[in-house]
Amino acid sequence: MCGERCVTHRRKKTISCNIMYATTTAAPFAQLSPDCILNALDSAGFHCDGRLLALNSYENRVFQFGQEDGSLYVAKFYRPARWSNAAILEEHAFLQELVAAELPVVPSLADRDGNTLHEYKGFRFAVFARQGGYAPEFDDPDTLQRMGRIHAIGALTVYRERATLDVASFGEQPRDYLLAHGFIPEDLREAYADVVEQALGGIRRCYDRAGEVASLRLHGDCYAGNVLWAEDGPHLVDFDDSRMGPAIQDLWMLLSGDRQERRIRLNHLLEGYETFFDFDSRELHLIEALRTLRLIHYAAWIAQRWDDPAFPLAFPWFAGPTFWQERIQELREQIDAMAEPLLEVA
């Protein structure tokens, strides 16, 4: 998002609407001006016809652009230092595997030399075809039955360069960062430290109950906003958070509503899911644990990017006591949720 709403750029003229390109040296995208974007695209053989639209994105900078034949594409400029080149290329290779299996994903496009990752003046970027669509109706059983098909391919091999979703990387390390860097108001610091430690204890108990579950290549951030429904079914987009982890990570975010509604949706989902891949029911122990890890990680994710001027603009409430009071209460609720009986599957 980074403060920008839209920008239409032409070579000799820039027309902007509520666009903010930060100029501080701390900003990772400070030099990513419209001219830089267009020159970067040109360098990779993707020639913009003047239509350039900034899309909402926090982690990276993402732009829709047009070409002279009328087609639309999306360029993603990766946040510096987040992933290595090898890790990004692993994601791109996974997408190609899914495409080869005729699964509905949007792969990165290769240039005339076969490269899917490009670099220009220190910025790494990839280009994707623009995928149209609308949010799926998750009350529709047919929609739910068509989700999760990537796992049969994801289980065929492992990531060697990308991270794994586990208690250390999504819970302990984020907790340590938050407590060490002064983001939590002093009068709430002890309460947060206490509740996050209790939450981590509950997470570990969930993992103990689940036992040794398989880890595979995931989408990693499979919430409704990353699923676009088109005429030929759901298309999964934005594999930027793809990593190793338990299969349930790509399923639990598709479950919403009260307990009974979540149970019904889970059963609909698994009806279609198990057509392609066996589901290990022990992973049901991890649903609330993974939700709790996501909450802990989310707060640290904002903190770790606070030097990016886009983040104080987008999250002005982050530094105030209300945000942390709500996080403390949220974690208390999750401690109770992790102790509840499992959702039942047919």
User: Catalytic positions, please?
Assistant: 221, 238
The torsion of the CA quartet 103, 343, 283, 277, rounded to 10 degrees, works out to -30
Q: CA-CA distances (angstroms) from residue 338 to 66, 213, 224?
A: 47, 18, 23
Q: Which residue type, as a one-letter code, is found at position 196? A: V
| Cβ atoms of residues 56 and 21 within 8 Å | no
Q: How many CA atoms lie within 13 A of 167 on its CB side?
A: 15
**Residues 266, 279: Cα–Cα separation, whole Å:** 11
Q: What are phi and psi of 286, to 5 degrees?
A: -95, -5
Q: CA-CA distances (angstroms) from residue 185 to 190, 192, 296, 297?
A: 10, 10, 16, 18
Q: What are phi and psi of 106, to 5 degrees?
A: -110, 105
Q: Which residue type, as a one-letter code, is found at position 244? A: M
Length of the chain, please?
346
Residue with tokens 């994707």: 128
- Residue 162 token pair: 């990308």
Q: How many CA atoms lie within 13 A of 142 on its CB side?
A: 3
- Residue 283 token pair: 């992973």
